[in-house]
Amino acid sequence: METNDIYRIFDADGLLSTRFPGYEFREGQLDMALLITRAYEEDAIAAIEAGTGIGKSFAYLVPAILWAQEHPQERTVVATSTINLQKQLFDKDLVQLFAILGTSCPVALVVGRSNYLCQHRLEERASEAPLLAHDPLGELGSLVAWSGETDTGLRSDFPGKLRGELWQDVCSDTDLCLGYRCSFAKDCFFMKSRKKASESRLLITNHHLLFTDSRSRMIDGIGYDEEAVLPSFNRLVIDEAHNIEKNATDYFTATYSAYEMMRSLSRAVQQKRQSKSLVEEVAPYAKDQRLVDTILGTASLLGESIGYVDTYLSQMMQQVRSSSFLVNRAMKSQLADFIRLSQAVVEHAGRFESQTRTLVMESSLPEELEFRGKELAVHAKRVLAGSEALRTFIDMEGWNEDVHWFETVEHGRSVKGVDVHISPLSVAQSLREALFGKLETVICTSATLDLNDRFAYWGSRIGLPLDDFRTYLTAVHHSPFDFKSRLLLLTPHDAPLFSEKNPQEFFSYCTATIGNAILSSGGGALVLFTSYAMLTSVAKEVEPLLAASGITLLRQGDADRSHLLKRFKEDVDSVLFATDSFWEGVDAPGNALRMVIIVKLPFRLPTDPVFRARQEALDGEGKGGFFQLALPEATMKLKQGFGRLLRNTLDSGIVLILDSRVVNKQYGKWMLQALPESYHPETATEGIASKIESFLFS
Packed helices 3-10 and 27-41: angle between N→C axes, nearest 10 degrees = 160
Q: What is the pLDDT of residue 596?
A: 97
Given pLDDT bands bounded at 50, 70 and 90, which one contains residue 84? confident
Range 11-28 average pLDDT: 90
Reply yes or no on whether the pLDDT at 506 is more than 70.
Answer: yes
Reply yes or no on whether the pLDDT at 648 is more than 90.
Answer: no
Indicate the pTM of the whole model: 0.94
pLDDT digits (tens, 9 = 90+) for 95-151: 999 999 998 999 999 999 999 999 999 998 898 888 888 888 889 999 999 999 999
Reply yes or no on whether the pLDDT at 411 is more than 70.
Answer: yes
Q: What is the pLDDT of residue 160?
A: 81
Mean pLDDT of the chain: 94
Q: What is the pLDDT of residue 414?
A: 65
Contact 95, 154 (CB under 8 A): no
Q: What is the pLDDT of residue 7?
A: 95
Reply yes or no on whether the pLDDT at 560 is more than 90.
Answer: no
Given pLDDT bands bounded at 50, 70 and 90, which one contains residue 23? confident
Q: What is the pLDDT of residue 274?
A: 55
Reply yes or no on whether the pLDDT at 89 is more than 90.
Answer: yes
Q: What is the pLDDT of residue 130?
A: 85
pLDDT digits (tens, 9 = 90+) for 33-50: 999 999 999 999 999 999
Q: What is the pLDDT of residue 128?
A: 82
Given pLDDT bands bounded at 50, 70 and 90, which one contains residue 203? very high
Which residues have a Cβ under 8 Å from the Cβ of 300 and sit 6 or more positions away?
A: none
Q: Which DSSP category does 648 fall into?
A: S
**322 vs 317, 407, 414, 419, 537, CA distance in Å?**
6, 9, 19, 13, 20
Q: Out of 238-242, 380-384, 541-545, 603-607, pick the least confident.
A: 603-607
d(CA 627, CA 619): 10
pLDDT digits (tens, 9 = 90+) for 53-74: 999 999 999 999 999 999 999 9
Given pLDDT bands bounded at 50, 70 and 90, which one contains residue 661? very high
d(CA 122, CA 119): 5
d(CA 167, CA 143): 9
Reply yes or no on whether the pLDDT at 273 is more than 60.
Answer: no
Q: What is the pLDDT of residue 355?
A: 97
> H helices within 129-243, ranges in order?
130-133, 139-147, 164-170, 189-199, 207-220
* Closest to 125 (Cα-Cα) out of 108, 138, 112: 138
Given pLDDT bands bounded at 50, 70 and 90, which one contains residue 412? low
Range 444-458 average pLDDT: 96
Long-range contacts at 230-233 (CB < 8 A, ≥ 24 apart): 230/77, 230/110, 230/197, 230/203, 230/205, 231/75, 231/197, 231/198, 231/200, 231/203, 232/75, 233/74, 233/75, 233/76, 233/77, 233/203, 233/439
Q: What is the pLDDT of residue 147?
A: 94
Contact 575, 551 (CB under 8 A): yes
3-class secondary-structure state, position 315: helix
- Give the amino acid at 134: H
* Closest to 410 (Cα-Cα) out of 401, 400, 419, 402: 419
**685 vs 34, 496, 514, 658, 659, CA distance in Å?**
46, 10, 11, 9, 12
Reply yes or no on whether the pLDDT at 275 is more than 90.
Answer: no
Contact 514, 542 (CB under 8 A): yes
pLDDT digits (tens, 9 = 90+) for 346-388: 999 999 999 999 999 999 999 888 888 999 999 999 999 999 9
Domains, the chain, ordered by start: 3-106+200-249+427-477 (3.40.50.300), 113-192 (no CATH), 254-423 (1.20.120), 483-697 (3.40.50.300)
